[in-house]
Amino acid sequence: MTTVFPLEEDLIYTRGDTCPIPFTVTYTEDGSLVPFIGFTFKMTVDTLKKPPDGTTKVFEVDGVSSGDGKVSFTPTESQTDLLGTHYYDCQMIDGTGLIVCTFAKAKIKFTQDITK
């Protein structure tokens, strides 16, 4: 089956929010969901699009999946207490710790909230 990775979708997230950031990953040929059984997931947010190392990383958050091609990442309030445009990627990792693939990456813009 043919897959298209990574999904490049810019996100907008409000500063301090803790709602899940969901993704659905499908095979492009037939639209079936990618089976995520046996994988772990990580979303990394960085100040740079192409960081040379981990020193510009803003935060990482683990993903949760029911194994049906859907995964969500729920950052904490302190992790999202930022403003401006950053960059993210999401990876699925097999049981041995080997990074299998980056399935999403793009910009994430943190906007100002009103309620304090």
Sequence spans of domains, the chain: 11-111
Q: What is the pLDDT of residue 4?
A: 53
Q: What class is the 11-111 domain? A: mainly beta
Cα–Cα distances in angstroms (integers) from residue 57 to residues 17, 44, 53, 77, 86, in the given order = 19, 7, 8, 17, 10
The single-letter code of the amino acid at 27 is: Y
**3-state secondary structure at position 54:** helix
Model pLDDT for residues 23-67, shown as the tens digit of each residue: 988 766 777 777 888 889 999 999 999 999 999 999 999 999 987
CA distance 24 to 30: 14
Model pLDDT for residues 67-106, shown as the tens digit of each residue: 788 899 999 999 999 999 999 999 999 888 877 888 899 9
| Residues 3 and 36: beta-carbon distance below 8 Å | no
